[in-house]
Copies of this chain bind each other. A is one copy, B any other.
Amino acid sequence: MMRGFFDPRQLKHAPRQELHNGAFVAHADVPLRAESVAAALPGLEPPGDHGEAPILGVHDAGYVDFLKNGARLWAEAGRPGEAIGYVFPVVGRRPIALSRIDALVGRYSYDAGTPLTPDAWEASYWSAQCALSALDAVLAGDRNAFALARPPGHHAGRDYMGGYCYLNYAAVTAQAARDAGVERVAILDIDYHHGNGTQHIFWERGDVFYASIHADPATDYPFYWGHADEAGEGEGAGKTLNLPLAQGADLGVYRAAQTRALDAIAGFDPGLIVVSFGADTFVDDPISRFRLETPDYAVLGTDIAARGWPGVIVMEGGYAGEALGRNVASFLSGFA
């Protein structure tokens, strides 16, 4: 079994509700998710502390300040409940000095499903450290390593939260690998949802390839990104690959898409791969509509491992709390 990293401070983040389809509903990112994975993977280690520098390698400093202080500012402003935006700078977005917390929440997010809880920063910080410790293990010679992360990360952009995500661990890890001398890094995103934050961070970069398999944004969150024609720009042109699939995809359909993504990554010839792994592709996932079964994840893991790239596997989504641990264990077993 590969080494894995987990920090229990991830459990402190417990958002209560999200605005979804017109009403506030119970939030899907419950602490049970991380507990389920940790229970299924005995021997997880605590991460080392790499500080904020690698986080600032892909995230805006003002945004990081907002993550640290936003919940306190919200409470000080006398706002009820959790910090949720209600107005968003959809057009003409530009750097401006904003002070009112309600303005900041909208400025630094793109949805009303990602409350900035008092513990979001700490949980995200230590999740990032888990990813960086997994990278350390791989850079030190391990073939693969796993980071249990919660909340998830791939929807977070350089300066915005959204989709339950605050810090983008896959992006932090890819950038840290680049900074450590890995010339070309690939990110394979196999969460049910498109990782719009990761895509956006590396959109114009030629040194990080981003491939994502996800539910078609015509029907599924995040709607506005992940369409098949999105392929990067500038030096990043052709370095983004989006493979949207219709709802109902089973292993046959999914595996073929993953093979296509892996072939494209092989053409990029990376020195390291970061896998954004979400198990919300599971048939019983409560918020998603693919049909993967628990043993299928071992098949997908085996296919990735067969390519031979050193790999850091970072946890993204997966909301079937009880089954999540089994599905992650199955996936990691494919790398054994």
Contacts and interface: CB of A to CB of B under 8 A. Distances in A.
Interface of A: 18-24, 74, 77, 79-93, 96-100, 102-103, 106-107, 109-113, 157, 160, 162, 200, 203, 217-219, 221-225, 227
Nearest to A23: B80
A80 to B, nearest CB: 5
A92 B200 contact: yes
Query: Copies of this chain, how many?
Result: 2
A223 to B, nearest CB: 4
Contacts of A102: 21-22, 223
Q: Which of A19, A82, A83, A97 has the most CB of B within 10 A?
A: A19
Given A22-B86, A92-B225, 6 more contacts: A22-B74, A88-B90, A89-B224, A91-B110, A106-B223, A107-B223
A195 to B, nearest CB: 13
A93 B18 CA distance: 23
A90 B92 contact: no
Contact of A22 (B21, B22, B81, B111): B81
Nearest to A101: B21
A89 B110 contact: yes
A93 B91 contact: yes
A23 B81 contact: yes
Given A112-B19, A223-B102, A90 B90 contact: yes
B91 A160 contact: yes
B22 A79 contact: yes
Given A98-B223, A113-B87, A224-B92, A22 B103 contact: no
Nearest to A113: B86
Contact of A87 (B80, B103, B112): B112
Nearest to A200: B91
B92 A111 contact: no
Nearest to A157: B91
B224 A84 contact: no
A224 B23 CA distance: 26
B99 A218 contact: yes
A92 B18 CA distance: 23
Minimum-distance CB pairs A-B, first 6: A103-B223, A89-B224, A90-B110, A87-B111, A88-B88, A19-B86
